[in-house]
Amino acid sequence: MRRRHFLQASTALAVGGLTGAAAAAPVTPARRPLRILVLGGTRFLGLHMTQYALDRGHWLTFFNRGRTNTDRFPQVERIKGDRNGEVGGLAGRNWDAVIDNSGYVPRHVRLSAQLLRASVPHYLFVSTLSVYAGFASANDEESPVAKLAEPATETIDGATYGPLKALCEDAAREAYGAGNTTILRPGLIVGPDDNTDRFTYWPARAARGGRFIAPGTPSDPLQWIDARDLAAFAIDTLERRVTGTFNAVSAPGRFTMGELVDASVAVAQASVGPKDAPQPVWLPSEFLAAQQVQPWSDMPVWVPSEGESAGFAATRMERAAVAGLSIRALDDTVRDTLRWHLARPAAEQTTLKAGIAPARETEVLAAWKP
């Protein structure tokens, strides 16, 4: 299975809520406030971007359909419209920069970029690591991108999500020119208000207590980016007019499965002190495969680094690091994510969108004979 299939839902949902997160550290105001237009982005990453931009003193305008989180950020101007042709509300307006959080098909990106290029000098497009053609080895920003089997399709699924995003990048560059375009390619976006529940699964599972599956080996590498780090990097590139294409993800080897499990256990014990202490049981990838336990869906965040996925958690990000991307400590993300999770409605806490079902986990653990 290809990485873009794994990342499709996580990035698509993420860029599209910010509620119940831990209080953020004070943010220093920017030297010069910007007028920023945000296309979509009223969930997860978009709202973290909004909060950070407002904290920096910038003036924001949302352009979207007005259906999600309409009560959030009342100080932000809203223009109601639809990227599928209803963009007249943007005509005749001027901003310093635009953040495109909601571009999934090139026609929509082309329409907005062509309309705005004369009045907005800087276009930032949030793409995805799923644009790459393969993950058998480590990718950098110059690695080949995936191509569509049907170039005219606008159907978004596991096979088309990455190639469509690559074409969206092209549409932004063609309209604005490479010197006025910033492309961010995040990996798995995690942190408080993670509406995919992928990263959330691990601290939540540890908080439930008892024996639980830890997949593969403790040294298996992982990569992700906290939504708050991605938000800060995005706004920083606008403030400094940094352009180009950047893999926005943690450095290869920065995080491992063992560190994620250990941090989840430690934070859970400190936060909720489950009666039944959490006990990870490390199960080899071969055994999990035989039990039809799937990487990424049943075991969120984790994919064995072998075969077609040997480079899955080895994406190069030196260019982003040089440009100022900073990745926070694992414990901070785990702690804040669990705090947010424990403030959710009870039904959302007990029924996660990702991770192996409790009954199935019990069956797999019972089948393991070390």
* Residue at 322 is within a domain: no
* Residue at 97 is within a domain: yes
214 and 334 both lie in a single domain: yes
Q: Which two tokens stand for residue 232?
A: 């800060």
Domain span holding position 80:
3-189+223-248
61 and 143 both lie in a single domain: yes
241 and 283 both lie in a single domain: no
161 and 21 both lie in a single domain: yes
pLDDT of 56 reads 97
pLDDT of 67 reads 78
- Phi, psi of 142, deg, nearest 5: -100, 0
* Cβ–Cβ under 8 Å, residues 282 and 217: yes
68 and 209 both lie in a single domain: no
232 and 352 both lie in a single domain: no
295 and 240 both lie in a single domain: no
Three-state SS for 68? coil
Beta-bridged to residue 38, according to DSSP, are 62, 99
Nearest 10 degrees: CA dihedral of 76, 80, 83, 85?
Answer: -150
The domain that contains 174 carries what CATH number?
A: 3.40.50.720
pLDDT of 13 reads 47
Model pLDDT for residues 237-264, shown as the tens digit of each residue = 999 999 999 999 999 999 999 999 999 9
pLDDT of 275 reads 84
* Residue at 33 is within a domain: yes
* Residue at 195 is within a domain: no
* Residue at 340 is within a domain: yes
* Residue at 31 is within a domain: yes
55 and 147 both lie in a single domain: yes
207: left (phi over 0), alpha (psi -120 to 50) or beta: alpha
57 and 206 both lie in a single domain: no
Residue closest to 164 by CA, chosen among 14, 4, 2: 4
Residue closest to 163 by CA, chosen among 189, 126, 133: 133
pLDDT of 43 reads 84
Which residue ranges in the chain fall short of pLDDT 70?
A: 1-25
pLDDT of 195 reads 85
157 and 168 both lie in a single domain: yes
- Phi, psi of 363, deg, nearest 5: -65, -45
27 and 122 both lie in a single domain: yes
pLDDT of 86 reads 84
* Stated pTM of the model: 0.93
Beta-bridged to residue 246, according to DSSP, are 184
* Residue at 309 is within a domain: no
* Residue at 50 is within a domain: yes
CB neighbours of residue 172 within 10 Å: 28
243 and 261 both lie in a single domain: no
* Cβ–Cβ under 8 Å, residues 198 and 354: yes
* Cβ–Cβ under 8 Å, residues 50 and 60: yes
Q: Which of 248, 264, 283 is the last residue of a domain?
A: 248
pLDDT of 7 reads 55
Q: Round to whole Å and give the CA distance between 89 and 79.
A: 6
Into how many domains does the chain fold? 2
